[in-house]
Amino acid sequence: MLLCATMHYQRVGIGLLLWSVFFTLILAPTVDARIRHYKWEVKYEFKSPDCYKKLAITINGRTPGPTIQAQQGDTVIVELKNGLVTENVAIHWHGIRQIGTPWMDGTEGVTQCPILPGDTFIYKFVVDRPGTYLYHAHYGMQREAGLYGAIRVLVPDGVKEPFSYDYDRSIILNDWYHKSTFEQAAGLSSKSFVWVGEPQSLLIQGRGRFNCLASGLQADTCNSTNPECSPYFLTVVPGKTYRLRIGSLTSLSALNFAIEGHNLTVVEADGHYVEPFVVQNLNIYSGETYSVLVRTDQDPSRNYWAATNVISRNRTTPTGLAIFNYYPNHPRRSPRTAPPTGPQWNDSDYRLAQSVAIKARQGYIIPPPLTSDRVITLLNTQNRIDGYMRWSVNNVSFTLPHTPYLIALKKNMTHVFDQTPAPENYDSASYDIFSAPKNPEATYSNSIYRLKFNSTVDIILQNANSLMNNTSETHPWHLHGHDFWVLGYGKGKFDPVNDPKKYNLVNPIMKNTVPVHSYGWTALRFRADNPGIWAFHCHIESHFYMGMGVVFEEGVERVGELPSSIMGCGETKGVYRP
Amino acid sequence: MLLCATMHYQRVGIGLLLWSVFFTLILAPTVDARIRHYKWEVKYEFKSPDCYKKLAITINGRTPGPTIQAQQGDTVIVELKNGLVTENVAIHWHGIRQIGTPWMDGTEGVTQCPILPGDTFIYKFVVDRPGTYLYHAHYGMQREAGLYGAIRVLVPDGVKEPFSYDYDRSIILNDWYHKSTFEQAAGLSSKSFVWVGEPQSLLIQGRGRFNCLASGLQADTCNSTNPECSPYFLTVVPGKTYRLRIGSLTSLSALNFAIEGHNLTVVEADGHYVEPFVVQNLNIYSGETYSVLVRTDQDPSRNYWAATNVISRNRTTPTGLAIFNYYPNHPRRSPRTAPPTGPQWNDSDYRLAQSVAIKARQGYIIPPPLTSDRVITLLNTQNRIDGYMRWSVNNVSFTLPHTPYLIALKKNMTHVFDQTPAPENYDSASYDIFSAPKNPEATYSNSIYRLKFNSTVDIILQNANSLMNNTSETHPWHLHGHDFWVLGYGKGKFDPVNDPKKYNLVNPIMKNTVPVHSYGWTALRFRADNPGIWAFHCHIESHFYMGMGVVFEEGVERVGELPSSIMGCGETKGVYRP
């Protein structure tokens, strides 16, 4: 089994890869695979992560929730009790492919019905690959309310990773709003569109700092001395190497992360080993994870800032700060130096260059199929429908059906969603991606893409100008149930004749989340080899809420019997069986 | 059928009453009964009912929602679409007894599962008695979020009421908070108990006035010129008689209502005709309705204030104001006079006297059974359980089961709630109702009272001191599925030997909601003749949320087959039937 885990990265064929995963799963119980059992209760509690007190959705009283720690091949069981009063819930295990358990993906409306107040839903899945993953609510806009956390999957005992480090640490970056998610959602979905604006704070591992004094708010609402918002500190020993796992679950913001005076060596992205490269600071988009190695080789008599800054949008949110604390300095001693400010917010070349720099590590390359069976181009646009602000893909703004797709497709309920195939392309010959759309009207649909099982699919994400002139937002796209090869990035409109010739077919990184940069395109390839129904969407929560997503079906006929625990809504609602 | 409707009030026996209702239902379609069909969508919208902008739950964009208007014997159908994003919903038809349709009572956890987002639930019931009723959310604390409205049931064509009037008008009184119901609920159910305090405004027909200028809030949050918060006005013609139907759905406040310079003649309470009496102002408790006759006999050259003030709690909420507009004066012309201030907030004798004054109208008396089969005494106390603040009845703090009682009892699921009978009494010999409880600890339970079908049950509501010294709150108790006779009110501890001798068995009013006054008792009698499961609870929303309620079962074996639409939670969750 240890051999298999290693093979996983050294073998070159997808068939072998799948075979090795299968083999791993089969053998896992006989070697070292364990059950990692968690009991969580989800509740509203007043929290002051940035000193401003507001309601947050917590897990066992915490936001971020507990970190799931497991080893490759382990089975994770989360008994999730919904302790909210009137709200349902669902949790997605971000980056876990759910091979053989597509009903455990936790995507409300796609793979399951929401979990009712008082109900306990048992999530059970195998973490089949080592790496850094995330979990978060996938229902309405509950992620923004604080329902998220980290998953860390270690290699099996005895397996060596291709880099060494002394300590392993995790942080999650986030942005934080003072308005409730209800206020945000109501504003987004009203005709008199109200956007909540830029976040008030950036959080590092659930801690940020809002300027209470300047805000004029009373101490019972905003209190800078609240220990809940004292900066996060990471205590390090001089002369060591730290693996720092960094995930971003921002609602909106693309971020840059830096540790003052320390280089970061990028070694992992979304669970795949990266051909190491050194940066002064790391760009990270919502839904991405990275591991960086940090050598504590600086003057040990002081602390250093760890800082996160907004990129790709004009900055109005202050730098998020944590303390990189050299032992034995006091962890609360703030450096007297200025925190890192990262790159210029609008330096898109810098961001593009870092995206392109991420390649699979030699010896761990999983070569992509050299050709694809189908190319789906997805134009990203902001639109209006009947006066409502929406985001769309190929002029279709996505809506979730009332009965989750997985159940509908497995049970042949063809009436619960639009059976028309979703559009493969847009009018690329005439569409001007550099201007606000001439006709910003789009249509609603819950139609999907049905993929031939085991076929190879290329996705071209094509960015464009939003409704506002001279604006093209960066969208981080996240694919459920798969990793994809990142074949290339480009500026402007994708050229279907010439651009594919420049694809990196040698050592492309595999990821589950990837940005499409402003006015640019990103080309992805994946194998439709995981029976199930999988969402693919912009990870900016408000964008998905406003329709920026699609759904893929593949091999649904191979999906085993669905557990009744995922049912209970739409066409599967409340039929009592004595 | 018209004859029957009249008989309804003149006959003396319950058997005959039931028979006449039955007869009415049977005959209704052949005479004049109609279907009153409503299509509602429930959504969050930003509203400024008191000039402060906050999220409210609206029906078809409005709060209060549309008034249901029907005639006795009509069938009301409400197709309720839940348009909330992540929240379920349920609506109770307050004062409608649901004879033969106990599953349509809309009480989440008692008679139905909550309605999921995207679902449409069809409420269908007969309004079998003329009168003034209400509807409101009965799930979590959603009523406070604005989900409420009025039901007006008219007598059949040709039937004369025992008083005459020229015009028929309705208003609902409410109190209004600026905090969200989520914040309120989280504060109430946290160990570090946080109470939201007194309401910011009193609303008359959904309109109040918060002092934006004094609050220092910005105009996008609080704007006194917003037309949504211009005072409600009731335009009247001089020299006429108005029937004004007044309901209260306050979250917390007991209210007094007055129209400057005009007497109010009370003629109806909770759908029953009152032996008319004249007041300068009317006390009204949450869940109560009254009809008063108002003669427009004052100087017609000006307008008058209609005003509502808090009673029974020390006033910190400003008077709620509307304009009683004599045509053709401009409806927005504020009177220059001072608005009515009502009685002293702590004049409990005044409140008790008005409660006692409410008797059934001669000719419409439904005499109560002269004896009862069972007496249940309910001590009302504030308690702590494991450090949590709670309200209790006989030291038991009520919790709702995960599967609604109606389904559990009908399907013999004895494991879903505590089968121990709920306590019939408290330690009345030794308990000091005038002091804070010596041992404030209570216990949680979801146990219920099972009543012999067709038996006569007396309820003695016994008030007591809360946890704070020298404080005993007024609790308005609302019974679902029935009207009860109000046999008497008293001060201090109920004397089971002598107080029953003073019961009014001659002309007691029937009601569905009644206050138990501070440090006092209220005695009720009802016939357990409506097969179903019925909540009886304090109508202060936070008190019920914190456990101040009980549940009665009667004749569940006579309940017909339950519609599957009420299922879908707890033990009835999500079993798919192809």
Site of tokens 């599957």: B564
Calpha distance B71→B40 (Å, rounded): 20
Which residues of chain A are within 8 Å of residue B186 when distances are taken between CB atoms? 44-46, 55
pLDDT of B32 reads 66
Nearest residue, CB atoms, A573 vs list B186, B407, B568: B568
pLDDT tens, residue by residue, A516-532: 999 999 999 999 999 99
pLDDT tens, residue by residue, B238-250: 999 999 999 999 9
pLDDT tens, residue by residue, A480-505: 999 999 999 999 999 999 999 999 99
Chain A CB within 8 Å of residue B162 CB:
no
The two three-digit tokens of residue A22, written as one number:
């299968």
Nearest residue, CB atoms, A186 vs list B55, B194, B573: B55
Does residue B309 lie in a domain region? Answer: yes
Same domain, B405 and B508: yes
Same domain, B227 and B294: yes
Number of folded domains that form chain A = 2
Does residue A458 lie in a domain region? Answer: yes
pLDDT of B3 reads 33
Please give the residue range of the domain that contains residue A283. 32-357
pLDDT of B33 reads 80
Chain B CB within 8 Å of residue A369 CB:
no
Chain B CB within 8 Å of residue A566 CB:
yes
Same domain, A309 and A276: yes
Chain A CB within 8 Å of residue B124 CB:
no
Same domain, A227 and A333: yes
Cβ distance A241 to A164 under 8 Å? yes
Nearest to B482 by CA among B520, B440, B446, B525: B525
Query: Given an 8 Å threshold on Cβ–Cβ distance, is B567 in contact with A577?
Result: no
Helix (H) or strand (E) holding A272: strand A272-279
The strand pairing partners of A391, in sequence order, are: A382
Nearest to A153 by CA among A196, A107, A95, A197: A95
Query: Given an 8 Å threshold on Cβ–Cβ distance, is B116 in contact with A118?
Result: no
Query: Given an 8 Å threshold on Cβ–Cβ distance, is A407 in contact with B568?
Result: no
Does residue A27 lie in a domain region? Answer: no
Which residues of chain A are within 8 Å of residue B576 when distances are taken between CB atoms? 407, 411, 564, 567, 572, 575
Q: For residue B495, what are the contacts with CB-CB under 8 A and spacing of at least 6?
A: none
Cβ distance B480 to B535 under 8 Å? yes
Considering just the CA atoms, what is the radius of gyration of chain B in Å?
A: 23
Which of B357, B384, B404 terminates a domain? The answer is B357
Calpha distance B419→B422 (Å, rounded): 9
Cβ distance B173 to B202 under 8 Å? yes
Q: What is the three-class DSSP state of A476? A: strand
Does residue B457 lie in a domain region? Answer: yes
pLDDT of A13 reads 40
Calpha distance A261→A34 (Å, rounded): 40
Chain B CB within 8 Å of residue A411 CB:
yes
Amino acid identity for residue B346 in this structure? N
Burial of A470 from C-beta contacts in 10 A (0-12 / 13-18 / 19+): exposed
Q: For residue B269, what are the contacts with CB-CB under 8 A and spacing of at least 6?
A: B288, B289, B290, B291, B358, B509, B511
Cβ distance B11 to B161 under 8 Å? no
pLDDT reading at B9 higher than 50: no
Question: What rounded mean pLDDT belongs to chain B?
Answer: 94
At A144, phi and psi to the nearest 5? -65, -20
Chain B CB within 8 Å of residue A576 CB:
yes
Does residue A11 lie in a domain region? Answer: no
Same domain, B137 and B230: yes
Nearest to A211 by CA among A178, A239, A188: A178
pLDDT tens, residue by residue, B344-385: 999 999 999 999 999 999 999 999 999 999 999 999 999 999
Which of B57, B86, B220 has the most A C-beta neighbours within 10 Å, making it the best mutation to test the interface with A?
Answer: B86
Calpha distance A58→A63 (Å, rounded): 5
End-to-end CA distance of chain A: 45
Which residues of chain B are within 8 Å of residue A146 when distances are taken between CB atoms? none
Calpha distance B378→B239 (Å, rounded): 48
Amino acid identity for residue B354 in this structure? Q
Mean local confidence (pLDDT), B18-40: 63
Which residues of chain A are within 8 Å of residue B137 when distances are taken between CB atoms? none
Calpha distance B399→B383 (Å, rounded): 14
Which of A332, A357, A382 terminates a domain? The answer is A357
Minimal CA separation from B195 to chain A, in Å: 13
pLDDT tens, residue by residue, A424-462: 999 999 999 999 999 999 999 999 999 999 999 999 999
Query: Given an 8 Å threshold on Cβ–Cβ distance, is B569 in contact with A116?
Result: yes
Query: Given an 8 Å threshold on Cβ–Cβ distance, is A45 in contact with B411?
Result: no
Calpha distance A204→A327 (Å, rounded): 20
Mean local confidence (pLDDT), B104-130: 97
Same domain, A528 and A487: yes
Q: Count contacts between A and B (CB, < 8 Å).
A: 136
Calpha distance A172→A232 (Å, rounded): 11
Site of tokens 């050259």: B301
Q: Which residue of A has its CA nearest to B563?
A: A575
Does residue A532 lie in a domain region? Answer: yes
Chain A CB within 8 Å of residue B217 CB:
no
Does residue B4 lie in a domain region? Answer: no
Nearest residue, CB atoms, A564 vs list B402, B569, B574: B574
Nearest residue, CB atoms, B186 vs list A55, A573, A575: A55
pLDDT tens, residue by residue, A35-80: 999 999 999 999 999 999 999 999 999 999 999 999 999 999 999 9
Segments of chain A with pLDDT less than 70: 1-32, 574-578
Share of chain A above pLDDT 70, in %: 94
End-to-end CA distance of chain B: 44
Site of tokens 């000193």: A51
Amino acid identity for residue A216 in this structure? G
The strand pairing partners of B154, in sequence order, are: B71
pLDDT of B5 reads 34
Same domain, A399 and A516: yes
Cβ distance A95 to A512 under 8 Å? yes
pLDDT reading at B23 higher than 60: no
The CATH number that applies at residue B444 is 2.60.40.420
pLDDT reading at B398 higher than 60: yes
Same domain, B145 and B235: yes
pLDDT tens, residue by residue, A361-398: 999 999 999 999 999 999 999 999 999 999 999 999 99
Q: For residue B74, what are the contacts with CB-CB under 8 A and spacing of at least 6?
A: B28, B33, B34, B35, B36, B126, B127, B153
Same domain, B121 and B264: yes
At A127, phi and psi to the nearest 5? -95, 100
Chain B CB within 8 Å of residue A412 CB:
no
Cβ distance B54 to B180 under 8 Å? yes
Task: Provide the Cα torsion A269, A272, A276, A280; round to 10°.
Answer: 10
pLDDT tens, residue by residue, B136-146: 999 999 999 99
The ipTM value here is 0.92
Nearest residue, CB atoms, A86 vs list B88, B564, B570: B88
H, E, C per residue of A45-93: EEECCCCECEEEEEECCECCCCCEEEECCCEEEEEEEECCCCECECEEE
pLDDT of B573 reads 81
Cβ distance B560 to A566 under 8 Å? no
Query: Given an 8 Å threshold on Cβ–Cβ distance, is A567 in contact with B575?
Result: yes
Chain B CB within 8 Å of residue A455 CB:
no
pLDDT band for B28, please (50, 70, 90 cuts).
very low
The two three-digit tokens of residue B157, written as one number:
């064509």
Q: What is the three-class DSSP state of B184? A: helix
Query: Given an 8 Å threshold on Cβ–Cβ distance, is B86 in contact with A574?
Result: no
Chain A CB within 8 Å of residue B214 CB:
no
pLDDT of B482 reads 98
The strand pairing partners of B39, in sequence order, are: B79
pLDDT reading at B46 higher than 60: yes
Half-sphere exposure of B298 (CA within 13 A, CB side): 15
pLDDT of B572 reads 86
Same domain, A325 and A451: no
Chain B CB within 8 Å of residue A414 CB:
no
The two three-digit tokens of residue B448, written as one number:
């219920």
Beta strands in B250-327 (DSSP E): 254-259, 264-269, 272-279, 281-284, 289-295, 304-311, 320-326
Calpha distance B230→B381 (Å, rounded): 40
pLDDT of A340 reads 98
Nearest to A577 by CA among B402, B408, B406, B576: B576
Which residues of chain A are within 8 Å of residue B407 when distances are taken between CB atoms? 576
Which residues of chain B are within 8 Å of residue A568 when distances are taken between CB atoms? 568-569, 573-574
Nearest residue, CB atoms, A574 vs list B86, B411, B572: B572
Helix, strand counts (H, E) of chain A: 7, 32
Which of B85, B180, B416 has the most A C-beta neighbours within 10 Å, making it the best mutation to test the interface with A?
Answer: B85
Beta strands in B102-213 (DSSP E): 120-126, 131-137, 148-154, 167-176, 201-204
Amino acid identity for residue A393 in this structure? V
Half-sphere exposure of B281 (CA within 13 A, CB side): 23
pLDDT of A32 reads 65
Chain B CB within 8 Å of residue A413 CB:
no
Calpha distance A536→A479 (Å, rounded): 4
Strand order in the sheet with B475-479: B449-451, B549-554, B532-538, B475-479, B513-516
pLDDT reading at B289 higher than 60: yes
Nearest residue, CB atoms, B575 vs list A44, A183, A576: A576
Same domain, B255 and B398: no
Chain B CB within 8 Å of residue A41 CB:
no
| DSSP character at residue B115 | B
Chain B CB within 8 Å of residue A226 CB:
no
Query: Given an 8 Å threshold on Cβ–Cβ distance, is A86 in contact with B89?
Result: yes
Query: Given an 8 Å threshold on Cβ–Cβ distance, is A569 in contact with B567?
Result: no
Q: Which residue of A has its CA nearest to B568?
A: A574
Does residue A228 lie in a domain region? Answer: yes
Cis, peptide link before residue B401, omega less than 30° from 0: no
Nearest residue, CB atoms, A568 vs list B86, B89, B568: B568
Nearest to B549 by CA among B431, B420, B406, B448: B448
At A19, phi and psi to the nearest 5? -60, -40
pLDDT reading at B394 higher than 80: yes
Cβ distance B394 to B426 under 8 Å? yes
Same domain, B340 and B293: yes
Q: What is the three-class DSSP state of A260? A: coil
